[in-house]
Amino acid sequence: MLRFASSELTDAELALQAEVRDFLAAELPRGSFAPGLGMSAARDQGFSRALAARGWLGMALPRRYGGAERSVVERFIVVEELLRWGAPVRYHWIADRQTGPLLLRYGSEAQRERFLPAICRGEVSFSIGMSEPEAGSDLAAVQTRARRVNGGWRVSGTKLWTGGAHENDWCVALCRTSEEDDRHRGLTQLIVELRAPGVSVRPIAYLDGSEFFNEVLLQEVFVPDDLVVGEVGAGWEQNTSELSFERAGPERWLSTYLVVEQFLRERGAADERARVALGEAIAGWWGIRALSLSVARLLDAGHAPAAEAALVKELGTRFEQEALDAIWRLVPDDLDPAAESLFERLLAAAILGAPSFTIRGGTNEILRSVAARALRIQRADRVRPDSGEPLPSERRA
Ligand SMILES: Cc1cc2nc3c(=O)[nH]c(=O)nc-3n(C[C@H](O)[C@H](O)[C@H](O)COP(=O)(O)OP(=O)(O)OC[C@H]3O[C@@H](n4cnc5c(N)ncnc54)[C@H](O)[C@@H]3O)c2cc1C
């Protein structure tokens, strides 16, 4: 059984939505900045700090760590508005979405005190150090090794596709700390300083020439014991527990929203084919948004809806691509990525970025396996869905 339930925003949630819209219109008026596509938008620490000043970074974290103790749904509302606006979210994105909740759940008290208030103030940035040359979907194949030394660990290996490593401060790296028969054991999450001696970051140009991905070479990098997250050897469980939080958010179905909106602004909907494409896009968003909101409600209720989140990401990222294709088919012109028209620029960027939507954060093939396996476990009634064992290849990014 998948637990999707329809829900409406409450009056208080709608008031927050209005507050975010007013803030964006005042702080970041249209035309004053180059809007970006979803979580791939620009990096602007000043803007992240302005959000922090409103209590909109780390907003679901406890007050004692600088958070606002708001709900997952409230964060959903803020994120949805930021992404619909094309706001520059990249500086704080990973720290706010992922590292904060990870450290709250598994970090030591000292790590929480050190990092969470800084995340909530927009003063520290993180990357995700999971993928490696031979470990993408099959994350348990990671070969980066951490060797025990006096006072900590020496880390050696190569991380790949590490978004933002060339500009971020820290990276949570999944490392092998012991050899075990079961390769899901013996993995540990370490917080690696990206400017530490022994770390080399090599940018990898993306299709459009921009540099965001990196190869991160780690050569005998020292990580002190106090930067081990959670338990040594429990990295696999910790890693997979993040999945529900990172898979079903608005960033999984809003990446091409602005292309459609800007099409409407610049070219209108006089054409019948355009009306059909727009109607389908609106209907698609409405449905996926309802599913995504439903997952946020489940998280607020204390569930870990991994299968539901996997399905939302699978549906959402395919929808983002389909909405883009429908608009692209309406445009006969050759596209110029440097065109004066914002619509053309966004369309060109989205065409180059779209193949990655169904890869980043776990490929759609893997997500279907996650959902199918959770359903199979439920049918057999062997394990409660929330505690279903992860697939060997279960993956995120
Ligand atoms: C834009 C973007 C940003 C990213 N950012 C980060 C980041 O910040 N940090 C990070 O660590 N990683 C990041 N990644 C990496 C991402 O997580 C991996 O690309 C992804 O998990 C797939 O791994 P892979 O590229 O090694 O492909 P592979 O695992 O080699 O997969 C190749 C193909 O085989 C299929 N396949 C593999 N195994 C199975 C299976 N068991 N069943 C069915 N099909 C299967 C896959 O679905 C895929 O189609 C990013 C990727 C992208 C595109």
How far does residue 362's CA lie from ligand 1's centre (Å)?
6
Select the more confidently predicted residue: 300 or 334: 300
Q: What is the pLDDT of residue 2?
A: 81
How many whole angstroms separate alpha carbon 367 and alpha carbon 359?
10
Tell me the Ramachandran region of residue 122: left when phi exceeds 0, alpha when psi lies from -120 to 50, beta otherwise.
Answer: left
Query: What residue's CA is closest to ligand 1, atom 3?
Result: 360
Ligand 1 geometric centre to CA of 357 (Å): 11
Query: Chain-centre distance of CA 139, in angstroms?
Result: 17
Report the pLDDT value the prediction gives residue 389, as an integer from 0 to 100: 46
How would residue 392 be classed by pLDDT, with cut points 50, 70 and 90?
A: very low
Pairing of strands 152-160, 211-224: antiparallel
pTM for the full model?
Answer: 0.93
Residue ranges, CATH 2.40.110.10, the chain = 128-234
Q: Report the CATH fold assignment for 128-234.
A: Butyryl-CoA Dehydrogenase, subunit A; domain 2 (2.40.110)
Q: Which of 318, 335, 336 is nearest to 326 (CA)?
A: 318
Could you tell me the pLDDT band of residue 334, with boundaries at 50, 70 and 90? Answer: confident
Least confident of 17-31, 211-225, 322-336, 381-395: 381-395
What topology does CATH give the domain 242-387? Butyryl-CoA Dehydrogenase, subunit A; domain 3 (1.20.140)
Average pLDDT for residues 315-330, to the nearest whole number? Answer: 97
pLDDT higher than threshold 80 for residue 241: no
Side chain identity at residue 215, one-letter code: E
Is residue 380 pLDDT above 90, yes or no? no
pLDDT-derived band at 319 (thresholds 50, 70, 90) equals very high
Distance of alpha carbon 96 from alpha carbon 66, whole angstroms: 12
Of 363, 367, 395, the one to substitute when testing ligand 1's pocket (max ligand atoms within 8 A of C-beta) is 363
Name the residue of 131, 158, 187 whose CB sits within 8 Å of the most ligand 1 atoms, as the mutation to test its pocket.
131
Q: Of ligand 1's atoms, which has the minimum distance to the CA of residue 363?
A: 47
For the chain, where are the alpha helices, taking DSSP H only?
11-27, 45-53, 72-85, 93-94, 100-106, 109-121, 235-241, 243-247, 257-267, 272-300, 306-328, 342-353, 364-380
Q: What residues are in contact with ligand 1 under a 6 Å CB criterion?
A: 127-131, 136-137, 161-163, 356, 359-360, 362-363, 365-366, 369, 393, 395, 397
pLDDT of the residue at 360 = 94
- Measured from the CA of 159, which atom of ligand 1 is nearest? 11
Report whether pLDDT(393) > 50. Answer: no
The per-residue pLDDT for 245 is 67
In the CATH hierarchy, which fold is given to the domain comprising 11-124? Butyryl-Coa Dehydrogenase, subunit A; domain 1 (1.10.540)
- The lowest-confidence range among 22-26, 34-38, 165-169, 337-341 is 337-341
- For position 384, what pLDDT does the model report? 46
Interval between CA 314 and ligand 1 midpoint (Å): 14
Residue 390 clears pLDDT 80, i.e. is over it: no
- Among 126-130, 207-211, 285-289, 320-324, the minimum mean pLDDT is found in 207-211
Is the pLDDT assigned to residue 47 strictly greater than 70? yes
Tell me the residue type at 34.
A
Burial of 150 (0-12, 13-18, 19+ CB in 10 A): exposed
Please give the angle made by the CA atoms of 2, 185 and 379, to the nearest 5 degrees. 25
Choose the residue to mutate in 37, 98, 144, 161 for probing ligand 1, maximizing ligand atoms within 8 Å of C-beta: 161
Residue span(s) of the chain under CATH 1.20.140.10 come to 242-387
